[in-house]
């Protein structure tokens, strides 16, 4: 079955165990408080990663619901936005939230990508008037849901400041760059897509083309290994043969340590100890393609 086809899988016990939350508390009913707990716990426990494209266990990412649940929850791996946000959408629906999948264009050094290669969630919470932007599948999203309101600066507990800006028919998500004190674009999406009824929204099957772009040989994900895990205080990133830790993540006291990984053995050790990825998932992992990739690829991660 494809992710996002609006039928439940009984995910709560497995998902709650994976992210370290109480099933009893979550089963009390959907609330904004619980949505905040889920979002932050997800980012803290399940990394964004592309290990399979660099020899890690398993084939390419798919939109298959059971296969994705087995990978993320049972094998304790991470994945791409389609996997991370797709499976979270399944679980939130199971818990009683309304969920929309929304395609978006990622901003990079050369501007916005020409095609939508990212998907995020718009979540409705019973009793709340506002809709909420939720993203657990980006390199560094906000650690809590953001209200879908325009031109309002929203600070989240890790120190990130975000805002949504209307640009004609599109909406741009921006974040405040502490070094320049200026807002920088992160994602762009069609505004209308975030406000349709959840039942009228797309299923994840409609994002197959985006997944194909991620898997293409020209994709940066195919060229270089990247693994990211976030807490309020710390950002952990492996980009090729470099391990970076940023703490605290924002503010004048933020600092970064950089460690060059000298071997695949050292890489595997970091992934096990710092990202808690089981060693059995890393047996075929290699840095070969990463070492051939341009130095500036993921250089700012």
Catalytic sites, residue numbers: 81, 118, 135
Compute the C-alpha angle 53/58/60, nearest 5°: 50
DSSP 3-state assignment of 161? strand
Among 194, 220, 190, 231, residue whose Cα is nearest residue 39: 231
- The rounded distance, in Å, linking the Cα atoms of 186 and 91 is 26
C-alpha radius of gyration, the chain, whole number: 18
Contact predicate 186/108, CB 8 Å: no
Taking CB atoms within 8 Å and a gap of at least 24, the contacts of 208-212 are: 208/63, 209/115, 210/82, 210/103, 210/115, 210/116, 210/117, 210/118, 210/119, 211/61, 211/62, 211/63, 211/80, 211/82
CB atoms within 10 A of CB 214: 20
Compute the C-alpha angle 102/135/66, nearest 5°: 80
- The rounded distance, in Å, linking the Cα atoms of 301 and 136 is 16
- The rounded distance, in Å, linking the Cα atoms of 217 and 223 is 7
What is the CB-side half-sphere exposure of residue 136 using CA atoms within 13 A?
A: 29
- The rounded distance, in Å, linking the Cα atoms of 103 and 80 is 14
Q: b or e along 59-74 (b: 16 or more beta carbons within 10 Å of the residue's beta carbon)?
A: eebbbbbebbbebbbe
């Amino acid at each position: 079955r494809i992710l996002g086809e609006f039928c439940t899988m009984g995910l709560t016990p497995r998902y709650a165990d994976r992210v370290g939350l109480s099933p009893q508390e979550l089963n009390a009913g959907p609330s904004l408080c619980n949505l905040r707990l889920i979002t932050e716990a997800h980012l803290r426990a399940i990394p964004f990663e592309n290990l399979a494209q660099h020899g890690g266990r398993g084939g390419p990412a798919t939109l298959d619901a059971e296969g994705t649940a087995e990978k993320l929850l049972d094998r304790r791996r991470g994945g791409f936005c389609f996997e991370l946000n797709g499976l979270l959408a399944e679980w939130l629906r199971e818990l009683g939230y309304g969920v929309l999948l929304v395609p978006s264009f990622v901003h990079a050094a050369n501007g916005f990508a020409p095609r939508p290669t990212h998907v995020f969630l718009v979540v409705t919470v019973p009793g709340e008037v506002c809709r909420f932007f939720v993203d657990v599948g980006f390199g560094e999203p906000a650690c809590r849901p953001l209200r879908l309101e325009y031109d309002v600066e929203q600070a989240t507990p890790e120190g990130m400041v975000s805002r949504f800006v209307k640009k004609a028919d599109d909406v741009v998500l921006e974040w405040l760059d502490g070094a320049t004190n200026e807002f920088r674009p992160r994602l762009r999406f069609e505004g209308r897509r975030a406000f349709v009824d959840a039942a009228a929204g797309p299923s994840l099957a409609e994002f197959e083309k985006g997944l194909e772009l991620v898997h293409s040989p020209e994709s940066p994900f195919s060229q270089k290994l990247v693994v990211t895990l976030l807490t309020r205080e710390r950002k952990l990133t492996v980009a090729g043969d470099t391990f970076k830790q940023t703490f605290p993540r924002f503010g004048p006291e933020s600092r970064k340590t950089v460690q060059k990984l000298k071997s695949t053995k050292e890489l595997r050790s970091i992934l096990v100890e710092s990202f808690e990825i089981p060693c059995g998932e890393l047996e075929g992992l290699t840095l070969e393609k990463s070492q051939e990739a341009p130095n500036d690829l993921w250089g700012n991660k």
